[in-house]
Every structure is written in structure tokens, then in C-alpha cells.
Amino acid sequence: MRNFQKGIRRRVKRETSAERLLERELRKVLGEGEVIKQSPIGPYIADFYLPTPRIVVEADGRQHYTERGLKHDRERGEYLEELGIRTMRFSNREIIESTEEVILKIVKAVEES
């Protein structure tokens, strides 16, 4: 458990500007209690978990577009899907350059769930 907590602390310290922006905007639109940041789900940690609609939102940096990153994300997506959790992925660039569109896509998914 101690190593797990250290891992979360390290991730929070490495938080990107895209993650901070996404968190702020999601909380504005959905409310404080509707967005769980750095949520452990099984062996994975979701950037953001929206529990009521069962949606994980990921802010992807460059490492997600490597062969290893793509494989890991595919396995993670399959795991979450088996739990009935939808995953929405956005690149850091997309979040920063098209914030409003990203938020609208997430809100639409929440409304449809």
C-alpha cells in the first residue's frame, strides 16, 4: 500500500498543465463531487473518474503514442470496459488548444449515459 501511495504522489507532482486545465473545467461544468482525480481502478490509476456515468477521462501525453504506450492503453481500456466503464482519451494538445470542444464531448457522453 505504501508503494501505491508513493506512486500516486509522484503522478500528482508530474501533473501536466493540460490535466490542471481539464480538472478545473470539468469541476466547473460537472461539480466538485462528480470528478475524482487520480482514481485507482483495479491495477490502474485513472486521470479522472466520473463515477455516476462510469466514465474515465484520460489526458494523454507523448508517451501514450509509443508502441508500449498504445499497448498499455489498449489493455487498460479492455479492463475498464469489462467493468462497464467507458474511457475517453484526449491528447494534452487537444485539451489545451480545444478545451471547449473536449468539455462538450465529455458532457455529451455524461448526458447519454
DSSP string, 73-105: HHHHHHHHHHTT-EEEEEEHHHHHHSHHHHHHH
Please give the residue range of the domain that contains residue 71. Answer: 2-112
Length, in residues, of the chain: 113
Res. 22: pLDDT tops 60: yes
Percent of the chain at pLDDT exceeding 70 = 84
What Rg, from alpha-carbon coordinates, does the chain have?
Answer: 14
pTM attached to this predicted model: 0.81
- CATH code: domain of residue 79: 3.40.960.10
- Cα–Cα distance between 16 and 21 in angstroms, integer? 9
Tell me the three cell numbers of residue 34: 462528480
Q: Which residues pair with 57 in a beta bridge?
A: 48, 88
Tell me the per-residue pLDDT of 68-92, one tens digit each, with 9 for 90 and over.
778 888 999 999 999 999 999 999 9
Tell me the three cell numbers of residue 37: 482525480
What is the model's pLDDT at position 66? 72
Domains: count for the chain: 1
- Decide if 113 contacts 55 (C-beta within 8 A): yes
What pLDDT band is residue 12 in, cutting at 50, 70 and 90?
very low
Mean pLDDT of 9-38: 84
